[in-house]
Structure 1
Amino acid sequence: MKIITTLALALFVSFSSFAQISPLEKQALVDLYTQTNGSSWTNSWDIEQSPKSWKGVVIINNKVIALTLNDNNLTGELPESIGNLANLKVLNLHKNSIEGTIPQTVTNIKGLKVLNISFNKLEGTLPTHLTDLASLEYLDLFFNNLTGELPQDIGNLKNLKRISLYSNNFKGQLPTSIEKLQHLRDIQISSNNFNGELPVGIASLNSLKRLSIFDNNFSGNFPEMINTLDLQELAYQNNKFNATTLVAVSDK
């Protein structure tokens, strides 16, 4: 009886130690490895081993909750199956050489808080249902070749604290619904092709600390009430604002 009990305990410990994430999540990670030339990554994975040993993969309760592969020499394109990492809170692929578009399936990751695919070679427009990511706090897509306009319902991202899209090819007007983002601290959209007038409602964003919109085609009157915000950075040069409405840059 003692031998049987000991054997059962050993089997239980063994099973617990090697408990796996779901096959769907594991396949999504393998697809990412395959399609971004994982064998050439700076810190590669041994896909014969448990995902728990893969650098940059954080697993809690057998669910992948963070994927951090920044500055890791990823090349190629992101797989559509990345949307099957449904429990992700953090997706950080900053500073790689990822090409192609942002998969539409990213918007399946409803609990995502950090989406950072900045400093890559991405093209195309933002995912159609990006504003479904109601938990999103940080949207960092700067230094890519992204195009198109911001969604008119961007105000649905009510938890957003930072939107950093500088050095892309975005165009169009800044949606008026941005005034709903009361937690927003950073707006960094310089070096794009945005145009039209700035929404007056930006001046109601009391949490805003950084407004960087230089090197665009914004025009019309600069909302003078912005000067009442407690900004740490305000950069609006190289636009087409009416000179008489411009406010002084505040260096604090």
Structure 2
Amino acid sequence: MKIKKLQASCSLAIVVCCMIFGSALYAVVPKSEKNVLLSLYHSTGGENWNNTWDLNADISTWHGVTIKKGHVVEINLFRNNLVGSLPEEIGGLKHLVHLNLAFNVIGGEIPKSIAELKKLEVLQLEMNRLEGEIPSELGNLQALVKLTAFNNFLSGRIPESLGNMQKLKELNLSSNNLTGRIPNSLGELSQLESLGLFENKLYGAIPGELGKLGQLKELVLANNELGGEIPKEFGQLASLQILQIQNNNIFSFDNMGQLNSGQFLVFDYDKVEEKKENKYRDFDVIRTRMADTKFEDEIEE
């Protein structure tokens, strides 16, 4: 009799453990967060995605959605045939850390509500059809480390507020329709390692403030309407390895002599103009590719 009671107790303990484990595995996501996911699904043609969601299944099984401690912390719908626009409700995912919607067909404007994602560290929106201006509110994303939105149709000026994102390491806004001057505030991004503004309609002189970016390894400003001279402050860019400034209206490279030529892996400039008008100072670059080639972004899935 005692053995049976012991067996019954053990069985009950196993059932309880399974229930606890199951509840942890399929943690209940707040209804508010599920509603945001449904808004994203419906506004971007979820039924036609390459990997669609079974709306009747547990959220933890939905493609590209990562749940941690009962909250949505990551959405990765890279190259998943999202067509439509991003819902304003997306700002409701307060625990989101990683948002990758790259290589889709998303149009419309970037919702200002994204700025409410205070924990967001990675925002990838490249290779879509986004248009309109970059919301100045994005400068409130203090945790952001990576912001990529190249190959869209974004217009207007680059917001000065982007200089507030002190943890940012990568900023790529290449191949858009951005205009105006490069904001001086970008020189405040002390952790920045890569800055891509290739193929826009940016004009004016390159800000000397960029010379404060001591961690910068890659600076791509080619195919714009930038003028003036290379700032003397560039002599402080000891970490710079890639510099592409071809197809602009820059008239003097005199200050490049302050840089260590051996640090460059790539240095692209208007060599045709150099031969034609002989207006650039001879700059000896070792192990350098001198070519008027279009900048190619490295894409990681």
Same fold (TM over 0.5): yes
Runs of at least 4 residues of structure 1 off by over 2 A? 1-19, 227-230, 243-252
Instruction: Tell me the equivalent position of 2:242.
Output: 233
Instruction: Tell me the equivalent position of 1:122.
Output: 130
For the residues of structure 2 that align with 1:221 and 1:7, how far apart are their CA atoms? 74
Asked whether 1:222 is paired with 2:230, we answer yes
After superposition, where does 1:1-252 map in structure 2 within 5 Å? 9=16, 12=20, 15-229=23-237, 230-243=239-252, 245=254, 247=256, 249=267, 251=288
User: Secondary structure of 1:65's partner?
Assistant: strand
User: Secondary structure of 1:134's partner?
Assistant: coil
| 1:148 positional shift | 1.1
For the residues of structure 1 that align with 2:234 and 2:89, how far apart are their CA atoms? 42
Q: Deviations over 1:188-209 (max 9, x none)?
A: 0010011111111211211000
Question: Against the structure 1 CA distance between its residues 52 and 148, is the aligned structure 2 distance closer, same or farther, given a 3 Å change threshold?
Answer: same
Which runs of 5 or more residues in structure 1 are unaligned? none
RMSD: 2.1
Which runs of 5 or more residues in structure 2 are unaligned? 258-266, 268-284, 290-301
For the residues of structure 1 that align with 2:89 and 2:253, how far apart are their CA atoms? 52
Q: Which has the higher contact order (CA 8 A, sep 6+)?
A: 1
For the residues of structure 2 that align with 1:244 and 1:156, how far apart are their CA atoms? 30
For the residues of structure 2 that align with 1:165 and 1:131, how far apart are their CA atoms? 15
Structure whose alpha-carbon radius of gyration is higher: 2
For the residues of structure 1 that align with 2:14 and 2:132, how far apart are their CA atoms? 56
Equivalent residue pairs, number:
252
For the residues of structure 2 that align with 1:223 and 1:128, how far apart are their CA atoms? 27
Question: Match for 2:181: what amino acid?
Answer: Q
Q: Does the 8 A contact of 2:138 with 2:161 survive in 1? A: no
* Identity %, equivalent residues: 34
